[in-house]
């Protein structure tokens, strides 16, 4: 496996992995992956990575989004990590998070935030292993189709190098 910057050539694989995660029902309130343009516009371009297998297929991706346009929040971003079903449990998510953490810290970002459904135990464990800590729970934050109201666990990782 190799981790490389996400590029337009990875669009199909990234969106396929994204939709696979959404199909589990425990990855996001979103039900359908957007088109590439919308997806790409919502992520900071210098902090988007893909994990590729030997054949160049996307095994997973990680990216961050700005939480606010206000200058005071310039060092705070929201993290997304998705791993293809066949690659889960093989270290892909951890490798992607490690690369994302290095990239954001090198750029002066001091806080990574994540919101994860409590039922998504593998994602919660992945983030804790990467140094995130639980800071709270949004109870019944939103309705999720037929699943009803869903809680969201709030996690953050403060840089030890920045801030």
Cα 60 to Cα 2, 63, 133: the distances in Å are: 11, 11, 23
Query: From first to last of its 163 residues, what are the pLDDT tens digits of the chain?
Result: 999 999 999 999 999 999 999 999 899 989 999 999 999 999 999 999 999 999 999 999 999 999 999 999 989 999 999 999 999 999 999 999 999 999 999 999 999 999 999 999 999 999 999 999 999 999 999 888 888 999 999 999 999 998 7
The pTM score is: 0.94
Detail the DSSP E strand segments found in 6-130. 48-52, 58-66, 76-83, 111-116
For the chain, the 3-state helix, strand and coil shares in percent, each to the nearest 5, are 35, 35, 30
Query: CATH number of the domain at 2-112, please?
Result: 3.40.630.30
């Amino acid at each position: 496996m190799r981790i490389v910057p996400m590029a337009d050539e990875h669009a199909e694989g990234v969106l396929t992995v994204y939709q696979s995660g959404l199909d589990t029902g425990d990855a996001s309130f979103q039900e359908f992956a957007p088109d590439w343009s919308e997806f790409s516009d919502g992520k900071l371009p210098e902090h988007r990575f893909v994990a590729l297998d030997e054949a160049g297929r996307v095994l997973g991706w990680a990216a961050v989004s700005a939480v606010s346009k206000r200058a005071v929040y310039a060092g705070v971003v929201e993290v997304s990590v998705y791993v293809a079903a066949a690659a889960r449990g093989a270290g892909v998510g951890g490798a992607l998070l490690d690369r994302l953490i290095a990239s954001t810290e090198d750029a002066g970002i001091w806080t990574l935030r994540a919101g994860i459904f409590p039922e998504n135990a593998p994602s919660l464990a992945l983030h804790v292993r990467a140094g995130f800590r639980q800071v709270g729970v949004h109870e019944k934050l939103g309705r999720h189709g037929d699943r009803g109201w869903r809680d969201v666990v709030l996690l953050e990782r403060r840089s030890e190098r920045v801030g």
